[in-house]
Amino acid sequence: MNGFFDIPSDLQHSWAGLIGLHLRESLLPVAAGLLLALPLAQLCVRFRWLYPPVLGLTTVLYAVPSLAFFVVLIDYTGQTELTVMIPLAVYSLVVLIPAIVDGVRSVPQETLAAATAMGFGPVRRYLQVQLPIAAPAIMAGLRVATVSSISLVSVGALIGNQGALGNLLAAAQKYDRPELAVNAVVTMAVLAILCDALLVLLRVLLTPWMPRGAHRRAAAPREQLTPEGVTR
């Protein structure tokens, strides 16, 4: 355990600083992905023929290895955080779009009719009826996207010190200090589990009408349950 938190100075960050950097590099892309996925998913719900091609395109983009994505982007955005964050945002789409589409589609027709009968316009109906009912499905997608994003940031270390905690992995090899690699893996895993738990808490707060204990199964990551969407 000697020197477990003794971070080499060329990383230019303390351990806590690396954690902050890591959270920023992994969570901002998911937020951006969500902002992008909401209108896209709404389009897919509105125009059904749009859904399969959108799903296919995101799947192909998802299959592009993150390292290749980073390297190609260096040409446009340089060796910056942005180069790491753009691919992560794109990857999050492949989880988020099916989650939102399935969630919004699962809103019963009677509920929509009731909202319309109460005089809700399309925008209000979307914001106050469809989104809240779809919230558990969307949150399940967000959980998967967040956890995978936290793990993928580390690959950024390969394009020169842009991997936050992943840089510790490179340092572990460079200075032959395996304890740094252990530190990196454990810290990232703990971060992922903590963020996951926070999102579960957020879902409970956002959907107070749901029974807490009984709803366990729907809260579990359900991304693989969509037979159409290849998701992680």
Q: Which residues bind to other proteins, rule: CB under 8 A?
A: 59-60, 62-65, 67-69, 71-72, 75, 144, 147-148, 150-152, 154-155, 157-159, 166, 169, 172-173, 178, 181-182, 184-185, 188-189, 192-193, 196, 216-217, 220-227, 230-232
Query: Is 7 in a helix, a strand, or coil?
Result: coil
**Smallest distance, other proteins to C-beta of residue 167, A:** 11
In the complex, minimum distance from the CB of residue 123 to other proteins, in angstroms, rounded to a whole number: 34
- SS3 of 146-165: HHHHHHHHHHHHHHCCCCCC
Of 67 and 127, nearer to other proteins (C-beta) is: 67
Minimum distance of other proteins from residue 209's CB (angstroms): 23
CA distance 70 to 84: 6
Instruction: Name every residue whose Cβ is closer than 8 Å to that of residue 36 and which is 6 or more positions away in sequence.
Output: 89, 93
Q: Which is nearer to other proteins, 35 or 193 (by Cβ)?
A: 193
Closest to other proteins by CB, 119 or 216: 216
- Is the CB of 35 or the CB of 60 nearer to other proteins? 60
Give me the phi and psi of 218, to 5 degrees please. Answer: -70, -25
Phi-psi region of 160 (alpha: psi -120 to 50; beta: other; left: phi over 0): left
